[in-house]
């Protein structure tokens, strides 16, 4: 396998030295899409927030500045990302506001918190079974809690159409997992438009 292919694979599960470099790159290029996703969630000071696939912990840092009585829990299945995110957020972890865990989303376990808001940025395309994982996420959300799933496609040849198709796929996953009020937002970014699909944890719909 060539080095470029090996490096691009590092964004799905960063490991070793290449994974560490990928994490540094994500932290320098990832701020805009993370800020945008957070703004769409309208996070309040007392809310509990779950992030899936926190990577180098850029959103963790931004969210920890918004919540004061609430709690942020992040999960990621890469130990290299866990170390980078822990370093970036050591003060908030010590304060007890932030918990970072090594966990695969499809085996998400309930914690002491139920979540008002959930986000995941550039991660869902790597999940093995997105619908099952989204159902797991619903089980740890408060009724009427809000989820935001963002994708900014970096792959070679990606266009605005790629973002729209990703948005349609994500909207289908959310619907099949029982979320309602599904809404798609788009924002011009580099190299192409980013897409964010939002959904509400529908109380009427039982998690199967």
Site of interaction with ligand SAM (CB under 6 A)? 11-14, 26, 30, 34, 52-55, 58, 75-78, 81, 104-105, 121-123, 126-127
Q: CB of 165: closest distance to ligand SAM in angstroms?
A: 18
Backbone torsions φ then ψ of 198, nearest 5 degrees:
-110, 150
Q: CB of 53: closest distance to ligand SAM in angstroms?
A: 3
**Which CB sits closer to ligand SAM, 12 or 207?**
12
Q: CB of 204: closest distance to ligand SAM in angstroms?
A: 28
Rounded-to-10 torsion of CA 54, 34, 60, 205: -70
Please give the structure tokens belonging to residue 14. Answer: 């960063």
**Which CB sits closer to ligand SAM, 9 or 202?**
9
Which sign does the torsion angle of CA 74, 104, 113, 82 carry? negative
Q: CB of 203: closest distance to ligand SAM in angstroms?
A: 26
Give residue number: closest CB to ligand SAM. Answer: 55
Q: CB of 34: closest distance to ligand SAM in angstroms?
A: 6
* In 40-140, beta strands by DSSP E: 49-52, 72-76, 98-102, 115-121
CA angle 101, 105, 109 (to 5 degrees): 65
**Which CB sits closer to ligand SAM, 83 or 200?**
83
**Which CB sits closer to ligand SAM, 24 or 68?**
24
Interstrand relation of 179-187 and 72-76 (parallel, antiparallel or unpaired): unpaired
CB atoms within 10 A of CB 112: 8
Residue 81 to residue 146: CA distance in whole angstroms: 25
Terminal alpha carbon distance of the chain: 40
**Which CB sits closer to ligand SAM, 143 or 191?**
191
Q: CB of 137: closest distance to ligand SAM in angstroms?
A: 11
**Which CB sits closer to ligand SAM, 64 or 122?**
122
Residue 169 to residue 43: CA distance in whole angstroms: 25
């Amino acid at each position: 396998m060539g080095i470029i292919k090996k490096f691009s694979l590092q964004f799905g599960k960063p490991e070793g030295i290449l994974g560490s470099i990928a994490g540094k790159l994500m932290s320098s290029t990832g701020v805009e899409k993370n800020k945008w996703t957070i703004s769409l969630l309208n996070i309040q000071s007392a809310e509990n927030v779950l992030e899936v696939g926190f990577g180098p912990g850029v959103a963790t840092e931004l969210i920890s500045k918004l919540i004061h009585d609430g709690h942020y829990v992040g999960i990621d299945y890469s130990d290299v990302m866990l170390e980078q995110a822990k370093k970036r957020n050591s003060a908030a972890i010590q304060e007890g506001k932030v918990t970072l865990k090594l966990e695969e989303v499809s085996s998400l376990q309930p914690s002491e918190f139920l979540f008002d808001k959930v986000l995941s940025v550039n991660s869902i395309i790597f999940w093995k079974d997105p619908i099952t994982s989204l159902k797991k996420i619903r089980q740890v959300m408060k009724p009427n809690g809000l989820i935001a799933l963002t994708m900014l496609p970096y792959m070679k040849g990606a266009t605005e159409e790629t973002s729209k198709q990703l948005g349609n796929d994500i909207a289908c996953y959310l619907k099949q997992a029982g979320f309602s009020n599904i809404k798609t937002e788009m924002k011009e970014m580099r190299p192409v438009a980013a897409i964010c699909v939002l959904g509400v944890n529908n109380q009427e719909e039982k998690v199967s």
